[in-house]
Each structure stands twice: as structure tokens, then as C-alpha cells.
């Protein structure tokens, strides 16, 4: 798996759902797995996608869209 995103867990969870809606399997894990899960939505998390899907995921979420003008 290849690291796709690091940020607050609330964003990571939403990103995983959005990737899966586009048929891109993704996994999420906390940056500090040893820290207690206290429900903090700002806790840093990583999102991983397979190397095969990485380019497509990157285009979906990081490339500027020309049709949004």
C-alpha cells in the first residue's frame, strides 16, 4: 500500500468512503497507533491506496478540474 493522505481522522474517514465510491480500495490507520483512542477527530491518520490505484486517486482528488469554472 502507498501513502495517499495524512491528516485529521475526520478527513481521512471521509476520504476512504469517497475513494471506495470510486471503486478504489483504501485503508486508514492512525499515525501514532500506540496513542489511546480517545475519540479526538483531529487525531492524525494516514490513508493508503494500492500503487495500482494511486494515480487514479490522485487525479480524482488533487488535479484541478477544468469544468468547475
What are the start-end ranges of the H helices in 1-69?
A: 9-21, 51-62
Q: What is the pLDDT of residues 19-68, one digit of tens each?
A: 999 999 999 999 998 888 888 899 999 999 999 999 999 999 888 766 65
Q: Where are the domains of the chain?
A: 2-32+42-63
Gap between the Cα atoms of 54 and 36, Å rounded: 30
Candidate CATH numbers 3.30.470.20, 1.10.620.20, 4.10.91.20, 3.30.70.1530; the one for domain 2-32+42-63: 3.30.70.1530
Q: Write the CB contacts of 58 (distance below 8 Å, at least 6 apart in sequence).
A: 4
Q: What local confidence, expressed as pLDDT, does residue 68 receive?
A: 56
Gap between the Cα atoms of 21 and 38, Å rounded: 28
Amino acid at each position: 500500500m502507498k501513502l495517499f493522505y495524512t491528516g485529521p481522522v475526520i478527513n481521512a474517514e471521509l476520504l476512504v468512503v469517497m475513494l471506495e465510491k470510486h471503486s478504489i480500495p483504501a485503508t486508514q490507520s492512525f499515525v501514532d497507533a500506540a496513542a489511546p483512542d480517545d475519540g479526538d477527530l483531529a487525531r492524525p491518520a494516514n490513508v493508503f491506496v494500492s500503487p495500482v490505484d494511486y494515480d487514479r486517486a490522485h487525479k480524482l482528488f488533487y488535479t484541478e478540474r477544468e469544468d468547475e469554472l
